[in-house]
Structure 1
Amino acid sequence: MVNKRFNPKNADKLLNQKRKRSLQPEKVIDYLQVSEVDTVADLGAGPGLFTIPLAKQTEKDVYAVDVEPEMLERLKQHADQENIKNIKLIESDLEHIHLAEQSVNRVLNAFVIHEVGSIDRTIDEMKRILTPGGYLLLMDWEAVESESGPPLEIRIPSKEMESTLKEHGFSTEIFHPGPEHYAIRAQKEER
């Protein structure tokens, strides 16, 4: 069995300039359509590659959720350096997210879904914390060989992930920001 979890000792790799240029966090946030009135959960926030720019987009709370306390501590340091006050740190796995039902209207899950034990349980949790009509942006590595990223055997093909989201009641739109990655914007039904 391959260890699926990213080692927090390598957190600096997640914030290096080459990765920032490749992933363009601000462009990712554009896909999520975050405004100043949105409450956001960044699930698998790590040291804050996406959390910091998310917090600059909204005046509401941004919940940075990560299972690794070391990652959250690094994120806190980065937020303090930039004098950002609307980030709330939540130590939690993604199969039992420590947020209230319908507490956010935007969820970002970037490059961590392949690490969870149960994808179905994690998607159920994302749906639980989202308000009706809220958006989830799920990004991950396409199931292709590449120089960076997780081993091919734990990557989830974009079409399979899109199908899983639809099975959970989301409407979806898929895009490929680059040949190695995919993004799926999924909307929870309005009710």
Structure 2
Amino acid sequence: MTYKRFNPKNADKLMSEERKRQIQPDKIIEQLNVNNDDTVADLGAGPGLFTISLAKMTEREVYAVDIEPEMLERLKQNAEKEKIGNIKPVVSDLENVKLAENSVTRVLNVFVIHEVRSIDRAIDEMKRILKPGGCLLLMDWEAVESESGPPFEIRIPSEKMKSILEEHGFDTELTYPDSEHYAIKAKNV
């Protein structure tokens, strides 16, 4: 698999009003059913498009995990603008997440899984940090040609991703918010 990582120099694009309208982050994270008692990990948090909304939904910690310190610095600035104090930045790749075992009740991974070197290792890490009965929401680009998104050759087909999650012991529910994306809600059993 070809390895490609999003360039942090383009972080502003991830937080643009146009992107917010297209992606509707609040609508996506509704699927996680986050409540006030949930501890959440946003894996591949970037500058905080989803993290900030998640932090408003719980009084507990929201771990913003990203391999790029520059992305987390932007996230910190964005959170300060909104006076949000429960976001904890964690510089880490997704194959070795620097969080304790069973430390979160919810995991979000949106438009990032195609960037990891080992999908199996990243899924193992999601399962490791997620408490039993906890929920993962994984969303990514369907393996179809489109004008936006990552190159076709690094996209992971939805059915393949669903199978990988099931092989790692998750109960899964696959949905298609549109023709270019898929979302998999997975329960850690």
Q: What residue is the counterpart of 2:103 in the other structure?
A: 103
Name whichever of 78-87 and 1-10 sits farther off. 1-10
Deviation at 1:3, TM superposition (A): 4.6
Alignment partners' CA distance in 1, 2:149 and 2:26: 20
Deviation at 1:2, TM superposition (A): 4.5
**SS of equivalent residue, structure 1 residue 139:** strand
Name whichever of 8-17 and 72-81 sits farther off. 8-17
Deviation at 1:104, TM superposition (A): 0.1
Q: What residue is the counterpart of 1:187 in the other structure?
A: 187
Q: What residue is the counterpart of 1:149 in the other structure?
A: 149
2:184 pairs with 1:167: no
Counterpart contact for 2:3–2:116, Cα < 8 Å = no
2:68 pairs with 1:68: yes
Name whichever of 8-17 and 150-159 sits farther off. 8-17
Structure 1 ranges of 4+ moved more than 4 A: none
Give a deviation string over 1:135-154, Cα, whole Å, max 9, x none.
00000000111111000000
**SS of equivalent residue, structure 1 residue 148:** coil
Q: Which amino acid aligns with 2:70?
A: E
* Superposed counterparts of 1:45-84, under 5 Å: 45-84=45-84
Q: Which amino acid aligns with 1:87?
A: I
**SS of equivalent residue, structure 1 residue 57:** coil
Give the aligned length: 189
Alignment partners' CA distance in 2, 1:2 and 1:151: 10
Deviation at 1:46, TM superposition (A): 0.2
Q: What residue is the counterpart of 2:118 in the other structure?
A: 118
Alignment partners' CA distance in 1, 2:68 and 2:187: 28
% identical aligned pairs? 71
Give a deviation string over 1:1-45, Cα, whole Å, max 9, x none.
745100000111111122111111111111111111100000000
Unaligned runs of at least 5 residues, structure 2: none
Alignment partners' CA distance in 2, 1:99 and 1:60: 15
Alignment partners' CA distance in 1, 2:41 and 2:171: 19
Name whichever of 158-167 and 173-182 sits farther off. 173-182
Alignment partners' CA distance in 2, 1:59 and 1:174: 29
Deviation at 1:179, TM superposition (A): 1.2
* Superposed counterparts of 1:37-48, under 5 Å: 37-48=37-48
Give a deviation string over 1:41-91, Cα, whole Å, max 9, x none.
000000000000000011110000000000000000000000000000000
Q: What residue is the counterpart of 1:35 in the other structure?
A: 35
Alignment partners' CA distance in 2, 1:175 and 1:144: 16
Alignment partners' CA distance in 2, 1:15 and 1:123: 26
Q: Which amino acid aligns with 2:89?
A: L
